Amino acid sequence: MLLAVDIGNTNVVFGLYRGRALEQTFRVSTVITRTEDEYGVMLQQLLALRKVPSDAIDSAIVASVVPPLTDVMCEAIRHAFAREPLVVGPGLKTGIPVLYENPRDVGADRIVNAVAAFERVKAGVIVVDFGTATTFDCISPKGEYLGGVIVPGVQVSLEGLIARAAKLSRIELAAPPHVVGKNTTHALQSGVVFGYAALVDGMVGRLEKELGFPVRVLATGGLSTLIAKHSERIQSVDVNLTLDGLCLLHARNAVALDAAAESSAAKRRPGRGR
């Protein structure tokens, strides 16, 4: 099985794939003070919880937007499963040209989402990811990553407002019965849910006009299902889009890895080069 790991600023999401089929997912809080041993133990406990033996993991791939945790997670995987994980970054074959001014500045999750989205639609597409930040990533009909937009995330915006407004308190993230809130809770819910849906629709319209080609709009991320219900432009939702992209990237790079491993093994065989 393939272990796919998406390290975000708020959560770390794990996916277990058998071939291209996603069989299990796990989600834990991102804690940068955890050690490789702690993450290793956590991984084994999560697998045990779902009755998956540790030796079932035969490969792994990691995408991270939290640099201090990248090496920690890779070490945890090495210790827990004796496997060398692939890491999304320079040198990894993605299959899409990145037309950013500095490609290294693009978050790994955004590239992974672009790979998964273009593989799915084979056309111009915008991926809206509702994470710690709400991001819009634009992919051309040729499969080129063009760039995008970064907006403060839904939860980040709400928590920032509550922290600076003495009379506001935490609310349930849900759609209110009406756009016009008749109490503070409903007013906040309207602003968050309907406001972000309107933001998405407006931004997609501006992006499509500037891009000059029609686009499909896919949404992912923890709050994508909630916001998409009230958006006119989001056409489909897949909360596992990033994990699917990681699975796809692993498959694209596995052949090259196997060839490199075979070449290395051949060089070590007795009698070679004589």
| 139, burial (CB in 10 Å: exposed 0-12, middle 13-18, buried 19+) | buried
CA distance 37 to 79: 8
Instruction: Name the token pair of 54.
Output: 């540790």
Sheet of 86-87, strand order: 21-29, 11-18, 2-7, 59-64, 86-87
In b/e form, how buried is each residue of 163-193, taking b as 16+ CB within 10 angstroms? eeeeeeeebebebbeeeebeeebbbbbbbbb
Let me know: does 204 contact 134? Beta carbons within 8 Å: no
Separation CA 184–CA 150 (nearest Å): 28
Q: Give yes or no for a contact between 153 and 250, defined as CB atoms under 8 angstroms apart.
A: no
Number of C-beta neighbours around residue 121 at 10 A:
17
What are the E-state strand segments in 42-152? 59-64, 86-87, 125-130, 133-139, 145-152
Respond yes or no: is residue 258 known to be catalytic.
no
* Of 109, 129, 238, 244, catalytic: 109
**Spatial distance between the Cα atoms of 230 and 194, rounded to a whole number of angstroms:** 7
In order of 78, 120, 258, 259, the CA distances from 265 in angstroms are: 20, 36, 10, 10
DSSP state of 52: -
User: Which are the catalytic amino acids?
Assistant: 109
